[in-house]
């Protein structure tokens, strides 16, 4: 049941008195809000101690990022891929500021440095040495 923007779950029903007791959907995390419904009349007990957080709005810029990366790569072929990525990311951060994540993953097929007809699978790994 939804009441004033909060969700409630039925805790129990008493058929003799035609009363239904409801608890806040966040009662397991400590919210004390309760509702008592008798003959169609709703009586609220306790204030909500839970806060419904709305998730931040995230803008999907994957397609725009892909186009910008391709354009940057083709404009200067001598520029290393890391610098192309950093420049494109900084320009995206300037345009969208707080509405994009700091890391953007562009899904694509993994790069292979072997011939297409080579049956061996390509294994990609990284090594970290600590001093």
User: What's the pLDDT tens digit per position in 6-51?
Assistant: 888 888 888 888 889 898 888 787 888 888 888 888 888 888 877 7
Structure tokens at 122: 């390509």
Residue that the structure tokens 């040495």 belong to: 129
Compute the distance between CA of residue 103 and CA of residue 85 in angstroms, rounded to an integer: 11
Question: Which strands sit side by side in the sheet containing 6-14, from one edge to the other?
Answer: 2-3, 6-14, 19-24, 34-38, 41-45
pTM check: above 0.75: no
Q: Averaging pLDDT over each range in 43-47, 69-73, 104-108, which range is the top one?
A: 69-73
Question: Tokens 């049956």 — which residue?
Answer: 119
67 vs 116: CA distance, rounded Å: 26
Cross-strand partners of 12: 21
When the pLDDT of each residue in the chain is averaged and rounded to a whole number, the result is 79
């Amino acid at each position: 049941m939804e009441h004033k923007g909060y969700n409630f779950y039925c805790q129990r029903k008493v058929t003799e008195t035609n009363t239904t007791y409801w608890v806040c959907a966040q009662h397991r995390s400590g919210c004390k809000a309760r509702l008592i419904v008798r003959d169609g009349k709703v009586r609220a007990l306790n204030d909500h101690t839970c806060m419904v957080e709305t998730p931040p709005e995230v803008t999907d810029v994957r397609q725009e990022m892909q186009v910008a990366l391709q354009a940057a790569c083709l404009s200067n072929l001598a520029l290393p891929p890391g610098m192309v990525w950093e420049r494109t990311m900084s320009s995206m951060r300037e345009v969208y500021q707080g509405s994009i994540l700091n890391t953007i993953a562009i899904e694509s097929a993994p790069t292979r440095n072997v011939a297409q007809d080579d049956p061996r699978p390509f294994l990609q790994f990284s090594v970290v040495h600590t001093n």
